[in-house]
Chain A
Amino acid sequence: MPILNVMVDSVVPAYVVGDVPHGVVSGALLSALEAIVGKTYVMSTPEDLLVYEYDATIDRARPQAVVLPNTAEQVAEVVRAARRFDVPVIPRGAGTGISGGALAAVGGVVIALTRMKRVLEVDPENRIAVVEPGVVNLDLSRAVAKHGLFYAPDPSSQRACTLGGNVAENAGGPHTLAHGATTSHVLGLELVLANGDLVWVGGRTRDVPGIDLTGAFVGSEGTLGVATKIVVRLSRLPESTRTLLAIFNRLDDASNAVTAIIAAGIVPSALEMMDKMIIHAVEQALHCGYPLDAEAVLLIEVDGLEESTAEESTEIDRICIASGAREVRQAVEQAGRDLLWAGRKSSLSALGRYFPNFYVLDGVVPRTRLVEVLRESNAVAERYGLAVANVFHAGDGNLHPNLLFDERVPGTTEKVLAAGAEIMRLCVDAGGSITGEHGVGLEKRDFMAWLFDDADMAAMAKLKQAFGADEYFNPCKAFPSHRGCGEVGHANLQQAAGRLGGELYV
């Protein structure tokens, strides 16, 4: 019987990812885990596990145990213990991911790294820092600001997401356009491998001799091991930064302005687009001065030397007006720029004001086909009767259509997944890809077949074997369904993917 007897209908989660094949973990494993990290930091009651069954996606999957280690050695011991009992482990940061990467798809032990949040070393001369995986992205930039440095990758969730999670998903952000995604900023990693070994890959400089194992690990979505220390590259805070907000009455004009800016040889540090729905949501949340009657706004930032940003911003202003912008605002001071950015950074979360659920897609298309794919994806949403809000990294051609819905309305989730699959297919057909920065995770693993053939996939599987990871770390993520994952897959998603063609690995 419900305890807070105030709700009429019980809300069944969007789709619980199957029954846990491993059942309840043994008391012996729990005791082993408790011996490693202490009783307080091992959770196993249903109530305790409830809060680790979600991330920022609509999926849910409950682990059988959660353990919160405090040191790399403890992580290694936890991995060894779980291995002894043949239970998979799932590394987890703050649970802010949007591809289901931190979910225990087939149960297992979640290793939550939120206690390992120490900045171990800052070396301002060599511009590097050594951090633990639980350090929050923005906290690192704050910690090094006094040296005139910052950590460049800036996902919208940067004030909550952890660097360990960023490494797993190769997280990007608005400034990826000029600065690159996480992989360009990670120099070395301390890893716990499947056998419990603690090893270092990469180093403290940019070019380390030998095969680039750091590069292979970044973006592997927790399937190869657990990063326990991260050596990151820090960037110098630019001398001057200018932020422009260009306001358009037509979405197409805004898209064309994006292409025109890049074609003019300017590489802004960020080039973001937001459509009407997003503008309304963030304006309500933050009152950042976005005009409510605009169809689209571009948020453009240039940084560098004072002279060059002044020149570039003038040129961008000119191009936007020539492309049909009705107004271009500019902010140079920190406070003004922060206000313009506040809207962008909170845009996804602000959608909760309209609908209880959203499904954010993360497709990439060649920049020149932005207008066309945007129009087509909006048409797909309309055909399914779904509201859609677009906020994305226009400069990278990285689209984020957000399908808005209420999972409590029967049949809606299925529609959303089907529409999402169609939009992903549009991106692939336009010569793009199924993820720009969020990762493949659980949600999109069945779309991998649209991009890679058997041989490609076999090559990736071999790398995984080489790490000794097999299906032991974060099973059923990033790669199409394997044995044991088929029955827990999203039947709806697979159906939709199947209808759209392409071989499925079920």
Chain B
Amino acid sequence: MSIDLHPEAEPHTHALQDDLSRCIHCGFCLQACPTYLELGLEADSPRGRIQLISALAEGRARPTPSVLGHLDLCLQCRACETACPSGVQYGRIMETARATLVETGERPFAWRLRIAAMRQVLPHKTRLRALIGLLRVYQQSPLRERVRKSGILKRLPGDVAEAESSLPEMPPASFAPTPQPPGLTSAVAMLTGCVMPHLFPKAHEATVRVLNRLGYRVVFPENETCCGALNLHGGDRVFARRLARRNIDAFLSQGVEAIIVNSAGCGSTMKEYADLLAYDDQYRERARRFSELTRDVLEFVAAHDLGPLGEVRRVVTYQDSCHLVHAQRVKTAPRAILRQIPGLELREMDSPDKCCGSAGLYSMVQPEMSQRLLSSKMDDVETTGATCVATANPGCMTQLETGLRQRGLGGSAPHVIELLDEAMRATHGRD
């Protein structure tokens, strides 16, 4: 795949016009928006951003750095969609706006550079593995301490120091499928994704074990690729569509009951492939089928009888991953699973469905706002007294672990599926 920044001729004209016209500017979204709650500025609210996008579309505004700044500060958490009674598809509006700004060349150079970088890394397994390997070496060698002590990061432009400290700790080994128990009659396919096998191999292993336990063989299609969510959110819809087509080809040939994903951000994009490829005559129908088959692992698992579970003695609070609760509207399944685990006490936060500030690449490109949101999230976590913050998305896990570390709380931020796996394994030898 070559770098191609030329726009494809795509008929998304009407979608944006119709999407925008649904907003009756009632303001119900304001209090759901994390950045509005922090700043109190209309331009940093969903309603304000929709107005700015409308004005850009109508030629009433220029894409000044200030306007772009407001659009960039959006987390794309889509909490406003949950709050919106009119059903405004805010996520799609923002994706279209960013894509159009990129395609018309209005984006600053840094943006296009980032897009190019994402194209060059995320979908390429070997490049990604090499990069992760380098990071692993860096983190495990004395080099990191020396670099940090030298203060060189602080002298670099931008927020390199902040980004460096928010990097997750690399586990020693990446996820690799292992032999599964024999005799499993049903089959599901699973998206392993781009960074997740390297950052959270344990969540993947737990997912496979839980699915096995429920009677499913887990298939890993050879040609799977990155889901395209980060590209899509960053304004690179052209490339996101390419990845979507590849995944559709890879997964639909497997003849499975469901396509399972344990990253809420990926799942939300996969469920929206139908929308993404709505104008693609060749793929429209298959994209719809792909989306229909896609299930978040928690949503899928909660619909099953979980069987006997052993004790997991822990006080847990659950952070709704935005793309699970707002984009996929899965709210009760993770809680239902946690409540079934003996010994586990679930204590709700005041605002569990408010973004923790991770939001894909957000924590790296908007470190200041990301940190403010994390800090308010950790205040909320602390009032529950729980030090185990369960969630459902790799970005959230990384961010919340950073938060726990910053506060010196110890504890952990596992995927819900890991806790369920622990509970299932705690019964071993007894049933």
Chain A residues within 8 Å of B, Cβ to Cβ: 1-8, 10-11, 45-48, 50-52, 54-56, 68, 94-96, 112, 114-115, 117, 134, 136, 138-139, 157, 159-161, 282, 284-286, 346-353, 356-358, 406, 408
Contacts and interface: CB of A to CB of B under 8 A. Distances in A.
A156 to B, nearest CB: 9
A26 B53 CA distance: 28
B43 to A, nearest CB: 5
B87 interface: yes
B104 interface: yes
Interface of B: 12-13, 16-17, 21-31, 40-43, 45, 47-48, 51-64, 66-67, 83-88, 96-97, 100-101, 104, 106
Nearest to A45: B66
Given A47-B61, A136-B31, A160-B27, A95 B22 contact: no
Contact of A348 (B26, B51, B66): B26
Given A159-B28, A348-B26, A350-B86, 5 more contacts: A2-B58, A5-B100, A6-B57, A286-B85, A408-B21
Given A3-B101, A8-B13, A114 B26 contact: no
A139 B96 CA distance: 34
Interface centre among B55, B86, B87, B100 (most CB of A within 10 A): B86
A350 B23 CA distance: 10
Interface of A is mostly: loop
A134 B62 CA distance: 31
B22 A4 contact: no
A10 B57 CA distance: 8
A3 B59 contact: yes
Contact of A96 (B26, B83, B86): B26
B63 A94 contact: no
A94 B36 CA distance: 11
9 contacts: A4-B97, A50-B55, A55-B25, A159-B83, A282-B85, A284-B87, A285-B85, A285-B86, A348-B85
A2 B57 contact: yes
A117 B26 contact: no
A50 B22 contact: no
A54 B55 CA distance: 13
A37 B60 CA distance: 28
Contacts of B29: 160
Given A50-B60, A348-B26, A352-B86, A68 B40 contact: yes
Contacts of B57: 2-4, 6-7
Contacts of A406: 21
Contacts of A348: 26, 85
A68 B26 CA distance: 21
B16 A356 contact: no
A426 B67 CA distance: 45
Contacts of A56: 24-27
A284 B56 CA distance: 31
B67 A47 contact: yes
A1 B58 CA distance: 8
B59 A1 contact: yes
B84 A349 contact: yes
A95 B17 CA distance: 23
B104 A7 contact: no
Contacts of B53: 4
Contacts of B87: 284-285, 350, 352-353
A224 B5 CA distance: 56
A55 B48 CA distance: 11
A351 B67 contact: no
A304 to B, nearest CB: 30
Q: Which 9 A-B pairs have CB atoms at the shortest separation, nearest pair first? A: A352-B86, A346-B85, A2-B59, A349-B85, A356-B21, A96-B27, A51-B48, A4-B57, A114-B40
Given A160-B31, A351-B24, A353-B86, A6 B40 contact: no
A93 to B, nearest CB: 9
Contacts of A94: 27, 30
Contacts of B42: 51-52, 95, 112, 114
A136 B48 CA distance: 18
B25 A47 contact: no
Contacts of B97: 4
